Amino acid sequence: MKTFAIQPVDRSMQPAIQHKIDNLNKPKGSLGRLEELAMQVCLVQHTLSPSLAHPCHLLLGGDHGIEREGVSVSPREVTWQQMLNFTRGGGAVNMFCRQHRFTLRIVDVGVDYDFSGVDGILDRKIARGTANFLHGPAMTEEQFDRALQVGSYLVDHCVAEGCRILSIGEMGIANTSPSSIWMHLLTNTPLEECIGAGAGLNDEGIRHKYQILSQAVSNYLHNTPNPEQSTTRPLVYFGGFEMMAAIGAMLRAAGQKLIILIDGFIMTACAMAAIRLRPAAQDYMIFTHCGDESGHKKMLDAIGAKPLLHLGLRLGEGTGALCAFPLVDSAVRMVNEMNNFQGAQITKYF
């Protein structure tokens, strides 16, 4: 695995930041989570005057071999059809990026489709989808490394443009399946508590999904010596190319001291994996919402993450992260633009 150097956030400025926040012309602590967000952003950027310059959004696409087992209500062609829709500006991710002025990059990391000649999609394809992990590893170690590097290089490009805050989304039919298995293996949560409806499975579909994923995990444990001793092994065995690229992007973004907005169930699974690989990465992450996918709250709890929103979202694409951006923006504006008691000539009453 590529070396990702990540420094824990330098907290030496914390008293000065807290003093500035406490002396804004408001009752102490009265802006709640906004004050916590302001503290985190200031610490990450090591400044009393933070900036959310040039926000970027990475939309990573990939297909999954496990889709062939009927674990998703949506067929795999929806992945490439949506990717094309994104190039025309017609997706939810497009609308939210326009609304909040994010630069959107649509990236093919492993979609089972030939996008040759299509404008607006970056070609970083590793393969046309992963292998079916019911029968063996989803990818090779070499493909795993390549996918991590894709995410890392994408972040470097954003940083070169002045990016200080990054959000990441995914498009990949059946990617709740590897996410559920990662949650099961990395948190020791019973598998049935990790599996949900995905894009809209009914009760029978969820039972079928559980049977397939349970057999896949059983096969993995039978064929993997000492599976509990490796973090990367379950990632390689079950993951998707777009998910690996997201992990690489998160690790590189943390190394570059960016604020990272974490979306829903799938991106939380990627964040959990990134934290297992490099624990310091969590200092740079803001968990934006808890969706309705079964197990999402438990996964957030397992990594000690407190989400900003609970809007019932389960779309993916990074939409939850984009919806939460105004809260982070408000926190930064608070610390930069509010007057203090002295400047406002208001008696400090605490």
Residue 137: CB partners within 8 Å, gap ≥ 6?
Answer: 131, 236, 237
Q: Are residues 254 and 154 in contact, defined by beta-carbon separation less than 8 angstroms? A: no
d(CA 171, CA 201): 17
Distance CA 283, CA 41 (A): 10
Residue 238 neighbours by CB under 8 Å, 6+ apart: 133, 138, 177, 178, 181, 182, 216, 220
How many Cα atoms occupy the beta-carbon half-sphere of 215 within 13 Å? 13
Cα gap 42→328, rounded to integer Å = 11
Tokens of 247: 């992990």
| Catalytic residue list contains 36 | no
State the amino acid at position 32 in one-letter form.
G
CA dihedral 131, 144, 248, 33 (to 10 degrees): 50
Of the residues 170, 242, 293, 317, which is catalytic?
317
What positions carry a catalytic annotation?
317
